[in-house]
Amino acid sequence: LGRVVARHQAVAGACRVGVRALGLELWPVREEIAASCVTAVRTPPGLDEERLRDAMRHRYGVTISPGYGELQGKLFRLGHMGPVQAHPTVLAAQLAVLERALNDVGHPVPFGAGVGAAMAALDDWDDAAD
């Protein structure tokens, strides 16, 4: 159980590093209250969050989740829960598609910045430890 928790925390932390490297803001105001199974990202001003989600899902086959209720349109969520999603391979693909889709919808970010930062944050990753 400890390794499962550590895996989720490592991938979540790397995801947050990647999101910040893209110049995006996290929804939680403090690191210690951020979730280990999902990364909530503030929708940048002027960005149509639904259009971003649609581009990711329909053009690239990667699904991200919206905010619900009063948070609709204000944030989107990148999931990394379970043994498949809490893995560097999935995280790299998810962030790469996020970078591409952000550019597609008119919110330019440097390609590779998020993926590179996230992968650098996983220096201690070892699949053999699971």
Per-residue pLDDT of the chain (130 residues; tens, 9 = 90+): 888 899 999 999 999 999 999 999 999 988 889 999 999 999 999 999 999 999 999 999 999 999 999 999 999 999 999 888 899 999 999 999 999 999 999 999 999 999 999 999 999 898 877 6
Contact of 15 with 39, CB cutoff 8 Å: yes
Residue 37 is predicted with a pLDDT of 94
So what's the pLDDT on residue 127?
A: 84
Give pLDDT, residue 130. 62
- Provide CB contacts within 8 A for 70, sequence distance 6+: none
Residue pair 18/117 in contact (Cβ under 8 Å)? The answer is yes
Q: What pLDDT score does 40 carry?
A: 97
Cα angle 25, 36, 84; round to 5: 110
The pLDDT score that the predictor gives to residue 1 is: 86
